[in-house]
Structure 1
Amino acid sequence: MDVTFTKVSGRRYRMTVVREHGPQLAPRQGPGYDDHLPHDAVHFLVEAEAGLSGGVFGRIAAGRNNLFWAVDPVERKRQARREAKRPPSPAERADMARSETLASLCDPLWRLRSGQRSDLPEWFSSIAADLDSAALVERILVRLDAFAARWYALPVGDGITLSWPGTTAGARRVGRTGHLPSS
């Protein structure tokens, strides 16, 4: 699966997914634009590096829709019925919670490291205690460094394509894109 994050005018970004499983998905505007790290890019990189197949992007790669809608309205209804019959498993819920925790930790850590923050938020220590892998956090921060440098320099209309680990990459590109490898 490839996810392309494209800068659009008005400090916004669009996500486009090309995947092997499930119906074709319509592009979607992303929440939380940032000049360096858009919110959903942080989640993608966290989930990919941590191997969270039950997080948002792992579920999308497996054929679920999550944040997106199928392009075909008939398929959209069919997919909604299928997903309603199969709620997230306990493992998927755990992966989603882990994604939220890691993203909540790594974003401010990256901003501190990059000089965008002078200190960590007050709540940070309450969730940092749950962290069991400093090596994982360091790998995520390295990936955030690489993405942020490319994203910041990217002109409006261009995008960066990220490939989900273990899936076929390069199915289709949207606009002029730059590709960052999965690992």
Structure 2
Amino acid sequence: MRVVFTKGPGTSYDIAVHRETGAAPALRNGPGGHPYLPHDLVHFLAEAEAGIELGVYGRPAAGDNGLFWPADPAERNKAARRRKTKPAKSSPRARADMERSEELAGIAVPVWEVRRGGHAKALPAYVRAEEIPPVVDRIVTRLDEYADRRHALPVGGILQLTW
């Protein structure tokens, strides 16, 4: 599966997912907020490094819509009807994977900001240095690989990653 992050104005961005399984997902707007590390890029890198299979990106790779809606209006309507009549129940494993993805993203960004220097002087109170999981070091290394590249992109520029 290919994931394309397109830089928008300010800290905004779009995400396009191109996959082999399931209906083609619609373009999705990201929440923005960080000039170097788009939230959904952080999730991608955290999930890849931690081997999270049913997170933000593993679910669509497996054919589930996850956080994405089908691009085809007919498929989107079917998905909406299914959600109304039978609310989505994710498996305990999928819920645990999503929680782990959020946890790692929430730790990795402030660790990157402090280690990088100039972005933050100290870790927030919810991140205790002695409790940082070892996988965070690998995630932070990956964040470093992409942060400057993403920041330097012009509006409309892309980062393309493979899941």
TM-score (norm 1): 0.80
Partner of residue 153, structure 1: 152
Indicate the SS of the match to 2:151. Answer: helix
The aligned runs of 1:25-174 (5 Å cut-off) are 25-80=25-80, 81=82, 84=86, 87-115=89-117, 116-125=119-128, 129=131, 131=132, 133-134=133-134, 136-164=135-163
Residue 128 of structure 1, CA deviation:
6.6
Aligned length: 160
User: Which digits, 9 at most, give the CA deviation of each residue in 1:30-71, with x for residues without a partner?
Assistant: 003322101111011101111111111111111122222211
| 1:92-129 CA distance string (max 9 Å, x none) | 1111111111111111000001111000111212x973
User: Conserved in 1, the CA contact under 8 Å of 2:11 and 2:38?
Assistant: no
- Does the residue aligned with 2:5 lie in a helix, a strand or coil? strand
The 3-state SS of whatever aligns with 1:108 is helix
Match of 1:18 in 2: 18
| 5+ residue gaps, structure 1 | 165-183
- Cα distance 1:50–1:65, how it changes in 2: closer, same or farther (>3 A)? same
RMSD: 2.0
Cα deviation, 1:59-97, whole Å, max 9, x if unaligned, reads 111112222221112111333428947621111111111
Residue type of the alignment partner of 2:149: R
TM-score relative to the length of structure 2:
0.89
Is the contact between residue 105 and residue 128 of structure 1 (CA under 8 Å) also seen in structure 2?
A: no
Higher deviation after alignment, 6-15 or 84-93: 84-93
SS of the aligned residue for 2:16 comes to strand
Show the counterpart of 1:173. none
